[in-house]
Amino acid sequence: MDLRNCRMCGKMFQYVGQPVCPGCMKAMEDKLQEVKEYLREHERATVGQVSEELDISVKQIRKWVQEERLMFAPGVDTGLVCSKCGMPVESGSMCKKCKESLKKTLQGVYCPTPTSQEGEPIQRKNAKMHYKRYE
Ligand SMILES: [Zn+2]
Ligand SMILES: [Zn+2]
């Protein structure tokens, strides 16, 4: 069993991949909901405003935005930048352009088969089903 000290309250807890204890996790979730509620009422709120009004660190807010669990209005400076090209981003860790190019790269890696062989996987599937029936 992996016991660690909670990074927020210092209590010992069983580590399951999060640096904070379940109690603090729950508190953070509540805070996140509070922020979402606040943003619904104050559409143009900035990160600094939310941080001040709800007493949450800017760092935590940015983390949520980075994890795409929180969205600010378009044009609001979240202080986040693309991890590839350094352009400001509204959410996540990469700008749209870099995300797109990454997607293309990944597709290139996972689907290297040229389009001329498109019908092949279907044939293979049928053959397998056939084979199973005679097993
Ligand atoms: Zn804790
Ligand atoms: Zn970028």
Taking the centre of ligand 2 as the mean of its atom positions, its distance from the CA of residue 107, in whole angstroms, is 18
Ligand nearest to the CA of 9: 1
The number of the ligand nearest the C-alpha atom of 21 reads 1
Is a pLDDT exceeding 90 seen at residue 133? no
Does 38 have pLDDT greater than 90?
yes
H or E stretch at 106 = helix 96-110
**How close is the Cα of 110 to the center of ligand 2, in Å?**
22
**Nearest bound ligand to the CA of residue 82:** 2
Q: Which ligand is nearest to the CA of 87?
A: 2
> Which residues are placed with Cβ below 5 angstroms of ligand 2, an ion?
82, 84-85, 87, 95, 98
Structure pTM? 0.65
Q: Could you tell me the distance, in angstroms and rounded to a whole number, from the CA of residue 23 to the centre of ligand 1?
A: 6
Domain ranges of the chain: 3-114
Q: How far apart are CA 15 and CA 12, in angstroms?
A: 9
**Distance of CA 19 from the midpoint of ligand 1 (Å):** 9
Confidence of residue 114 (pLDDT cuts 50, 70, 90): low
Does residue 91 carry a pLDDT above 90?
no
Q: Give the pLDDT mean for 71-86.
A: 89
pLDDT bin (cut points 50, 70, 90) of residue 18 is confident
Burial class (CB in 10 A: 0-12, 13-18, 19+), 50: buried
Q: What pLDDT score was predicted for residue 34? A: 97
